[in-house]
């Protein structure tokens, strides 16, 4: 695995970390693999480490090149800087697609909570758009309500915000037929679900567009992978049912991007290396040993 660490040009608080699978193994018959760009949540106040590297590595373990965008937060998020940063990240990955064996038309963005808001924004508003979106318990608007409008203030850089500002960041009403396919996962007990995942699914359904929606009954906001890796010591963050979302998203990506093609052949290279070392095995044909 090749790892990269980049600072987003012009945005010193934002970084892109990549986990690039550079071994000789192909994914099916193809050397170029899909990629997933992970946007952690955190209310645009910070980027949650629980929703970053562990998620990227879980996709890497399933054969995807994976990246984590640690975007600008706090007052550095003003003028919706995170949208510029995710657009740059997608464009940068496409620029290096040939070098990194990435399929440039198979780049997905995966975001949680506020990171889900950013991921959906990238599919609707960014200059460089992803080819698919995976949204975990996403925020899809920034309401202008006392005590609840901190995200709106951070993204605009204004202490006093208006309903017009809120409308700018209400994404459901900006979904069109040009939006990428979307996968959504949330829980019924998460109060944000009714204002996030469900309206997005309905908008896609109304437009006759491709989407997949999973609403699990139990659980609070912020599960991430919902397993021991991302629980950070809290039993509240463990839920085997919700933990299925990641595998479901992999299967959805395979269907969306095209399943890898496999053929019946030996993958052993052992005999070739034996010959290079000057050995011969009587009666043994190439490819006979794993």
Summarised one tens digit per residue, pLDDT across range 142-189 is 888 887 899 999 999 999 999 999 999 999 999 999 999 999 999 999
In the predicted model, what is the mean pLDDT of residues 35-41? 98
DSSP string of 130-163, one letter each residue:
-SEEEEES--------TTT-HHHHHHHT-SS--H
Asked if 154 and 120 count as a contact pair (C-beta separation under 8 A), the reply is no
Q: What pLDDT is recorded for position 290? A: 45
Residue among 122, 124, 125 at smallest CA distance from 204 = 124
Whether 121 and 168 map to the same domain: the answer is: yes
Whether 50 and 62 map to the same domain: the answer is: yes
φ, ψ for residue 140, nearest 5 deg: -120, 5
Q: What pLDDT is recorded for position 274? A: 87
**Burial per residue of 171-193, b for 16 or more beta-carbon CB atoms within 10 angstroms, e otherwise:** bbebbeeebbbbbbbbbeebebb
Whether 99 and 141 map to the same domain: the answer is: yes
Whichever domain contains 65, its CATH number is 3.40.50.1820
φ, ψ for residue 182, nearest 5 deg: -135, 140
Token pair for 37: 């760009």
Say if residue 194's pLDDT is above 80: no
Whether 81 and 210 map to the same domain: the answer is: yes
Q: 94-98, 259-263, 285-289: lowest mean pLDDT where?
A: 285-289
In the predicted model, what is the mean pLDDT of residues 101-107? 97
Q: What pLDDT is recorded for position 285? A: 58
Express each pLDDT in 264-287 by its tens digit: 888 888 888 888 898 887 766 554
> By residue range, what is the domain housing residue 274?
263-290
Q: What pLDDT is recorded for position 283? A: 67
Say if residue 239's pLDDT is above 80: yes
Asked if 117 and 199 count as a contact pair (C-beta separation under 8 A), the reply is no
Tell me the pairing of strands 102-112 and 33-39.
Answer: parallel
The rounded distance, in Å, linking the Cα atoms of 175 and 177 is 7
Whether 86 and 68 map to the same domain: the answer is: yes
Say if residue 106's pLDDT is above 90: yes
Say if residue 29's pLDDT is above 80: no
In the predicted model, what is the mean pLDDT of residues 86-111? 97
Whether 210 and 267 map to the same domain: the answer is: no
The rounded distance, in Å, linking the Cα atoms of 231 and 239 is 10
**pTM, rounded to two decimals:** 0.92
Whether 268 and 159 map to the same domain: the answer is: no
In the predicted model, what is the mean pLDDT of residues 23-46? 90
The rounded distance, in Å, linking the Cα atoms of 258 and 263 is 16
Domains contained in the chain, number: 2
Whether 282 and 157 map to the same domain: the answer is: no
Percent pLDDT > 90 in the chain is: 76
Whether 209 and 277 map to the same domain: the answer is: no
Whether 188 and 279 map to the same domain: the answer is: no
Res. 236 pLDDT band, cuts 50 70 90: confident
Say if residue 131's pLDDT is above 60: yes
Whether 206 and 70 map to the same domain: the answer is: yes
Computed over every residue of the chain, the mean pLDDT equals 92
Taking only Cα atoms into account, the Rg of the chain, rounded to an integer number of angstroms, comes to: 21
Whether 275 and 166 map to the same domain: the answer is: no
Say if residue 253's pLDDT is above 50: yes
């Amino acid at each position: 695995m090749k790892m990269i660490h980049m600072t987003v040009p012009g945005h010193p608080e934002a970084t892109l970390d990549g986990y690039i699978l550079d071994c000789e193994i192909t994914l099916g018959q193809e050397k170029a693999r899909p990629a997933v760009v992970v946007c952690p949540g955190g209310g645009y106040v910070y980027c949650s480490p629980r929703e970053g590297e562990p998620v990227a590595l879980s996709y890497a373990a399933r054969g995807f090149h994976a990246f984590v965008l640690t975007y600008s937060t706090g007052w550095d998020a003003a003028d919706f800087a995170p949208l510029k940063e995710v657009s740059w990240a997608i464009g940068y990955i496409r620029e290096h697609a040939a070098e990194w064996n990435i399929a440039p038309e198979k780049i997905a963005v995966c975001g949680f909570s506020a990171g889900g808001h950013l991921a959906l924004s990238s599919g609707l508003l960014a200059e460089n758009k992803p080819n698919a979106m995976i949204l975990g318990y996403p925020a899809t608007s920034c309401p202008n309500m006392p005590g609840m409008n901190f995200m709106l203030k951070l993204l605009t850089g204004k202490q006093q915000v208006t309903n017009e500002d809120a409308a700018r960041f209400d994404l459901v009403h900006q979904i069109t037929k040009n939006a990428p396919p979307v996968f959504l996962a949330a829980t019924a007990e998460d109060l944000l679900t009714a204002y996030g995942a469900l309206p997005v699914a309905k908008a896609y359904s109304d437009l006759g567009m491709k989407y997949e929606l999973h609403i699990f009954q139990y659980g609070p906001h912020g599960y991430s992978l919902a397993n021991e890796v991302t629980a950070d010591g809290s039993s509240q963050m463990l839920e085997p049912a919700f933990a299925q979302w990641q595998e479901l998203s992999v299967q959805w990506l395979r269907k969306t991007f095209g399943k890898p093609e496999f053929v019946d052949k030996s993958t052993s290279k052992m005999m070739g290396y034996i010959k290079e070392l000057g050995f011969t095995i009587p009666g043994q044909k190439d490819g006979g040993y794993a």
